[in-house]
Structure 1
């Protein structure tokens, strides 16, 4: 009867009426039907209707589908019609996903996505990102519940590391001491315990690399000074320094992470007072201060120096000299960052709280011991706080209704993801689980699910754009107005209360995260600008402000900024970070550096840093602030510009457009 049909891409292909029968029969089977004869009869009715409507003219696939729906309904097969409509919608979403995927592949082949500031533009990075794009489309269209998938696609929430949704976990604090003492197997045979400092740090780098291959997030040593101390007890300072230098070199050159990146590594140090542990910390800081081979600023590891009264905070404390050294190195190299053991929410655990470079914190535990080693974040999802404020139209009751609903959705989505992750087997994460890095994973066999181990991890709901949300609600953000600061405190406290209630309801470690918004900062605002237009102080730039931070372009002193942001740290038990901007490395003003860090501690912060430009001419090795496009000494334009982004360091050429815009807007916070 009909010879051709027009496909969605415009091509004409041979018409096959059997495909109509197949589609009707599959829809009928979805509601319990098994009568193919009826499907054939309904096909004949559809063909008659097509002939009557188009009378020999060409028609499309969509035209046929519209006719089939009409025939089913008129013939009294309402349930089959509904199943057919759902089938049609599912096929459309899958087809659209494929089209979007091909568009994404085309973009990646041109240049890799800068969603993460440490991804290169290498061939391997491109291949990994193509796989990532395919994985995201699969999870959104095939695995994730539709309400969660649509919320992510609309920009109500952001499911972080979506491409790894059902493959692995985010991060872990690695029990380095046990692995070094017992040895380990990373897939090609047993590696025995080391005896000398160089061997210990070489194996530490291998452990970071091996763990990174099993996970998509950061890798950290919670007690690096304590765990390396046994291997330097009989070593000289020179031998220890060489071992630390080699570690820094390795962690800046092992391109093994997804996207041809080096592992996102963090080392926590500072509160161990034995002679050997002090030697580890001192030489690690000195090696980092020296930089790479020509004096370049290292990107990794992110060194986190624990500050604690009675240990290193006051002149009479045993590690005060290490605190002073840490300040000196940070004044030149941006690292170390500083964590504060005396803050109201860390103090109960003494010096046991550890952080990771972007800001992650894991401590309390409903399902096991409250320790840091062997635990990490399982996954996190961020809510679009400014969008809720825009939609509320300055009605606070409406805003809180929207906030509660969105928090609930994010909590349920994380529980869904936990269920998927819990079904993974030990063999799916052969190093992290197979070698017992994760708490309670020792003793599990290759085919055992990892649920009993990962109940010790955290599920985190995050937020960004508190400043823009406050502006949408009140006309002013918390840096501009005391009442807005009170409201900001109320909003974040409410989110934390909802998180604590989720802990009770699900008996899992839900936590609240001050999200490290990198690619996300531009994604949310782009969608909101498209839907709601330009709103001054809200959608009129290229990014939303990071978590609870005061906007980067708002003129405020460093001490004021610290005081304002300090109140939010206690609510964000999944992680938090604050920082202030200086015009140049404060190497000649150590008093200012120390005063700022001490004020961070006194403002009840948990984790913080000081930012400034670090520029390096690769032509003549000049290190400093280079404001021009070329080096003032040799004229080279090959300038390596290191800046902090969401907690970690990176070079500006790897920042995405939103983060470049944010970087350009940052103003100096006067002392």
Structure 2
């Protein structure tokens, strides 16, 4: 008689027939549901008796394992004519195995998070914006790890969880799935500031000077970060902040006219206030920090009349009123320049130091600017970049916000354009600090939305590369919208299975597209499933994003209203990585090596875009295709595929898959050639894209070349691009530039004593930082990168 059983962990426990009966009964219940009849517990018990008899015969004198018992149950069910029940029992068995494996994996991950240093554990470096060694960083990772397992077991459909577990797809930000958060939002700061806003602990009134504008903009980004799992962007920062500049300038003019009157006429405060009040009643509000001749004359005339009324005589006031204006204008211009710089400096410093998400990370933030041609907007743009150029307190390169300079012919692209000087500053600062990145409004797929004078129609990007503009619901604007969620397919795996990498003489493209369709269908269904979870949440669940009206039309809802009808204005996106490895596995060449491979790469990408366009029509939602910003994913997919298929040259022989549609980082070609080869993919990937160029040396020493690369991006049809180069810093003396083993400024050696040089690198649109914070896959990628001449 069987008396004991061996568990999977090796423990031996007493044999219990009741567990077999219950498992058979549960499977029978599922089978009975399909036939609309009740299950019979007694029949399950009888079948369990047959299982025990078989075990006694087959394992006499032995201790069977759990797997032995389960195999015996399946055999007995089939033999006794319960094939349907056996199928459902197998599914039940698989689900139990999945849950058990999940528990084991969870405990292993918790152990790594708890006891390993972040330098020794990739799991603690999945997000380079989180310090995995700090208490709050560890707590955030605990929550993330547990939430992922909970979602896989209890929230999402088993087939979606299985596809993710197998590495066929990757569900991004799964740890936030059950919470219903959206990914990102492009915030209309002007709308938010118009009547003030609340962060949950008090109401902040409308700001009235540029320092308050910048402070509240940082607070808005921080508050919104806690309602989303992605980033926050301000699409028209220069236009928004310009309002704070003019408000401050008006105050300065009043103060400085008052100072002049006080000195020149020995007036008290009440008298100067009366004159200022009279001037502004007559003249109206100052509309610009630069006066036209007509405006200057009008202000002086109003000032002369007001002074004459106060002193009782107009004699000699022409010259004095003019001097008062010149004095006030000169001082106010100088002061507003200084104060705007201080505001932008504070903004940059705040976003690199203020924390969100339980204090574990600084907010993911992006700032789009560069097209406001007003003196106030230009002042904001210039000083924002100067603050970036100056760096943080000890000269460190700011990581946030991601500055994105919007390039537009006729505004800032070439000499003679009103903001060309700002474009030159942008190139100079980017050559030193990696940012700004550059977006291109004249790319055909961006220009189609552009309406002159309507700044909301200027296509903007999140720092990561996300782009949200098209909208089947009509309102094709940047502000108030963002990505809802996205998932990626493992393209290289399909390339390996259907390409010459698997031993074929010719790729099986029919089989490739057939299986790609299956994966895309899975992603579409999974995104819809997630969307319904998100849409069922209420305004009160997102007190800032929805409660303060940051998301489009959310200000029309009440706290108890669900948000489905407003988040539908965002995008649901299919992502992909490793196009280069996919084409290589299919044909033996990647798309940088031949025109034939390039044609295939474009064909595959267009096919995925076509499927997304079809899904938009079928499901009445904004589906889009994104060139996935792969951080941890690139290493995850390749590690799984290498274990399945072995090491394949040019495909699985690295620690990472190539980012989205990019030419492999180790392939040598010129900067212009790389731009030209990647540019066509930008138009196809309407959910987001970016192209990088790698430069060697210090690009600050050759700004002409830097400018020419950005201008070529504009000419080629790139939507969003950036230029990578080394940024090193010596903490001993603060020198920033390119440093080998020895600092050229102070002579200290890297690693000597407590001095370790900071080596800042970019690996995705958002992910910029010291190399030691990157995971192993991204470290390997940085090491492999060649420079583009």
Q: 2:160 aligns with which of 132, 141, 148?
A: 148
Moved more, 314-323 or 324-333: 314-323
Do structure 1's residue 357 and structure 2's residue 471 form an aligned pair? no
Q: Deviations over 1:509-535 (max 9, x none)?
A: 111111111111111122222222222
1:90 aligns with 2:85: no
Cα distance between partner residues in 1 of 2:589 and 2:20: 59
Equivalent of 2:445, from 318, 328, 345?
345
Query: Does 1:493 find its partner at 2:606?
Result: yes
- 1:643 counterpart (749, 761, 764): 761
Partner of 1:608: 721
Q: Residues 586 and 630 of structure 1: is their aligned pair in 2 closer, same or farther, counting only changes over 3 Å?
A: closer
Aligned-partner SS, 1:166 = helix
Map 1:387-466 → 2, pairs under 5 A: 387-393=493-499, 394-466=507-579
1:378 to 478, 484, 487: 484
* 1:39-78 → structure 2 map (5 Å cutoff): 39-55=44-60, 57-78=62-83
Q: Is the 8 A contact 1:617 1:639 kept in 2?
A: yes
Find 1:656's aligned residue among 775, 784, 787. 775
Give runs of aligned pairs for residues 110-509 of structure 1, distance below 5 A.
Answer: 110=116, 111=118, 112-121=123-132, 122-167=134-179, 168-233=181-246, 234-235=248-249, 236-257=336-357, 260-350=360-450, 352-393=458-499, 394-509=507-622
How big is the shift at 1:29? 3.1
Aligned-partner Cα distance in 1 for 2:238–2:624? 28
1:604-642 superposed Cα distances (whole Å, 9 cap, x missing partner): 011111110000111221111112277762235321111
CA distance in structure 2 between the aligned counterparts of 1:78 and 1:556, rounded to whole angstroms: 61
SS of 1:304's equivalent in the other structure is strand
2:274 matched residue in structure 1: none
CA offsets per residue over residues 102-125 of structure 1, 9 Å max, x none? 111122221353222222121221
**In 1, Cα distance between equivalents of 2:42 and 2:641:** 51
Normalized per residue, the structure richer in helix is: 2
1:103 aligns with one of 101, 104, 108: 108
Is the 1:389–1:469 Cα contact (8 Å) retained in structure 2?
A: yes
Instruction: Give the secondary-structure state (helix, strand or coil) at the position aligned to 1:113.
Output: helix
Q: Deviations over 1:275-322 (max 9, x none)?
A: 221111111111111000011111110000101112112322221221
Match of 1:584 in 2: 697
Aligned-pair CA distance for 1:559: 1.2
Most deviating of 528-537 and 204-213: 528-537
Q: Is the 8 A contact 1:465 1:545 kept in 2?
A: yes
Q: Which moved more, 1:467-476 or 1:66-75?
A: 66-75
What secondary structure does 2:769 align onto?
strand
Contact 2:432 2:737 in 1 (8 A): no
The answer on whether the counterparts of 2:352 and 2:398 sit within 8 Å (CA) in structure 1 is: yes
Judge conservation of contact 2:538–2:559 (CA < 8 Å) in 1: yes
CA distance in 1, matches of 2:198, 2:663: 47
Q: Residue 165 of structure 1 aligns to a residue in which SS?
A: helix
> After superposition, what is the alpha-carbon deviation per residue over 1:75-112, rounded to whole angstroms, capped at 9, x for unaligned?
44444444333322221111111011111112222135
Report what 2:504 is aligned to: none
Cα 1:6–1:566 shift into 2, 3 Å: same
Residues of 1 paired with 2:674 and 2:617: CA distance?
34
Higher mean displacement: 422-431 or 268-277:
422-431
Contact 1:362 1:376 (C-alpha < 8 Å) held by counterparts? yes
In structure 2, how many angstroms separate the alpha carbons of the residues matched to 1:595 and 1:47? 79
Q: C-alpha displacement at 1:504, in angstroms?
A: 1.2
Cα distance, 1:452 vs. partner?
Answer: 0.4
Distance 2:39 2:601 in 1: 59
Change (3 A) 1:500 1:12: same
Residue 634 in 1 paired to residue 748 in 2?
A: yes
Aligned counterparts of 2:196 and 2:205: Cα–Cα separation in 1? 5
Decide whether the 8 Å contact of 1:129 with 1:259 is kept in 2: no
- TM-score normalized by the length of structure 2: 0.81
Comparing 605-614 and 127-136, the one that deviates more: 127-136
1:225-282 CA-to-partner distances (Å, cap 9, x unmatched) read 1111111113411111111111111111123247811111000001112222111111
Partner of 2:283: none
- Render the CA deviation track for 1:148-194: whole Å, top value 9, x for unaligned: 22222222221111222232111110121111122112211222111
Contact 2:182 2:534 in 1 (8 A): yes
Cα separation, 2, equivalents of 1:403 and 1:629: 51
SS in 2 for 1:552: coil
SS of the residue corresponding to residue 433 of structure 1 reads: coil
CA distance in structure 2 between the aligned counterparts of 1:269 and 1:604, rounded to whole angstroms: 19
Contact 2:2 2:55 in 1 (8 A): no
Asked if the contact 2:2/2:63 (under 8 Å) is kept, the reply is no
8 A Cα contact 2:742 2:748, kept in partner:
no
CA distance in 2: counterparts of 1:386 and 1:18, whole angstroms: 47
Partner in structure 1 of residue 328 of structure 2: none
Instruction: Indicate how the Cα distance of structure 1 residues 200 and 498 shifts in structure 2: closer, same or farther if over 3 A, else same.
Output: same
**Residues of 2 paired with 1:623 and 1:513: CA distance?**
35
Structure 2 CA distance, aligned partners of 1:404 and 1:629?
A: 54
Separation in structure 2 between the aligned mates of residue 374 and residue 542 of structure 1, nearest angstrom: 38
Inter-partner Cα distance in structure 2 for 1:35 and 1:485: 62
Contact 1:441 1:452 in 2 (8 A): no
Query: Structure 1 538/29 Cα, relative in aligned 2: closer, same or farther at 3 Å?
Result: closer
User: Partner of 1:634: helix, strand, or coil?
Assistant: coil
SS of 2:448's equivalent?
A: helix
Following the alignment from structure 1 to structure 2, what is the Cα–Cα distance between the partners of residues 467 and 595? 27
Bigger shift: residues 169-178 or 63-72: 63-72
- 8 A Cα contact 2:2 2:60, kept in partner: no
> How far 1:15 sits from its partner (Å)?
4.3
* Cα distance between partner residues in 1 of 2:79 and 2:337: 88
The structure 2 residue matched to 1:553, chosen from 661, 666, 673, is: 666
What's the offset of the Cα at 1:491?
2.1
- Deviation of the 1:372 alpha carbon: 0.8
Displacement of 1:19 in angstroms is 3.2
Q: Distance in 2 between matches of 1:386 and 1:204?
A: 42
SS in 2 for 1:580: strand
Q: How many residues align?
A: 670
Contact 1:126 1:259 (C-alpha < 8 Å) held by counterparts: no
CA distance in 1: counterparts of 2:338 and 2:544, whole angstroms:
33
Between the aligned partners of 1:506 and 1:232, the Cα distance in structure 2 is: 45
Tell me how far 1:131 sits from its aligned partner: 1.9
